[in-house]
């Protein structure tokens, strides 16, 4: 069941990325758009990240809208809870535990110290994921366009 669900998500991401590969954007623009989307999607925006996407897509024509929105398929709400748990653990590792708080009892209502650990860990993970996503997307777009003989520059 889980494997099938993961396979479906990966297939949808692949389809959206293929669409972005044939857009009239440079490989750098497609890769940057996907990496930026991954960064924003990983942040604890409580759903407002999609509004940021619409604003960015409206303001910046050089962003690949398809690649930007494809990132939502990777870090969907189900996956984000795992990201939040890992983010808090990383922040806790870097800043130390919050007195009187155990990992099992963590919630956003617990206060500033917990939120700082969550945000710090999340910024580190989001930055790392965005960089990795950029590199993977750039290589994939370049490879795809090389095989297809597609134009590499902005019109």
Residue 155 lies in a domain: no
Residue 129 lies in a domain: yes
Mean model confidence pLDDT for the chain: 80
Residue 55 lies in a domain: yes
pLDDT band at 47 (very low <50, low <70, confident <90, very high): confident
Domain span at residue 46?
A: 2-146
At residue 115, the pLDDT reads 82
Residue 154 lies in a domain: no
Average pLDDT over residues 104-129: 80
Number of domains comprising the chain: 1
Residue 153 lies in a domain: no
Residue 152 lies in a domain: no
Spatial distance between the Cα atoms of 56 and 75, rounded to a whole number of angstroms? 18
150 versus 115: which is more confidently predicted? 115
pLDDT band at 17 (very low <50, low <70, confident <90, very high): low
- For residues 34 and 68, the answer to whether their CB atoms sit within 8 Å is yes
Average pLDDT over residues 125-152: 84
Residue 132 lies in a domain: yes
Residue 111 CA: distances (Å) to CA of 90, 106, 117, 152 = 17, 10, 11, 49
From first CA to last CA, the distance across the chain in angstroms is: 44
Which residues, 6 or more positions from 37, have their beta carbon under 8 angstroms from its beta carbon? 53, 67, 68, 69, 70, 71, 72
Average pLDDT over residues 32-55: 87
Residue 151 lies in a domain: no
- For residues 122 and 86, the answer to whether their CB atoms sit within 8 Å is no
At residue 83, the pLDDT reads 81
Which residues, 6 or more positions from 77, have their beta carbon under 8 angstroms from its beta carbon? none
At residue 55, the pLDDT reads 92
- For residues 83 and 49, the answer to whether their CB atoms sit within 8 Å is no
Spatial distance between the Cα atoms of 117 and 88, rounded to a whole number of angstroms? 5
Average pLDDT over residues 24-43: 90
Q: Which of 88-92, 110-114, 147-151 has the highest mean pLDDT?
A: 88-92
Q: Per-residue b/e over 84-110, b at no fewer than 16 CB within 10 Å?
A: beebbebbbeeeeebeebeeeebeeee
Average pLDDT over residues 30-39: 93
């Amino acid at each position: 069941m889980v494997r099938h669900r993961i396979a479906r998500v990966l297939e949808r991401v692949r389809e959206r990325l293929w669409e972005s590969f044939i857009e009239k954007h440079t490989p750098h623009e497609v890769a940057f758009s996907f990496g930026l989307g991954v960064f924003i999607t990983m942040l604890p925006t409580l759903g407002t990240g999609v509004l940021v996407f619409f604003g960015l897509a409206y303001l910046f024509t050089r962003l690949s809208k398809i690649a930007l929105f494809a990132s939502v398929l990777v870090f969907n709400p189900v996956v984000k809870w795992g990201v939040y748990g890992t983010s808090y653990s990383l922040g806790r590792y870097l800043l130390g535990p919050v007195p009187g708080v155990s990992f099992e009892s963590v919630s956003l209502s617990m206060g500033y110290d917990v939120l700082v650990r969550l945000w710090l860990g999340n910024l580190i993970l989001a930055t790392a994921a965005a960089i990795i996503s950029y590199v993977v997307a750039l290589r994939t777009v370049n490879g795809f366009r090389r095989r297809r003989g597609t134009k590499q520059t902005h019109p």
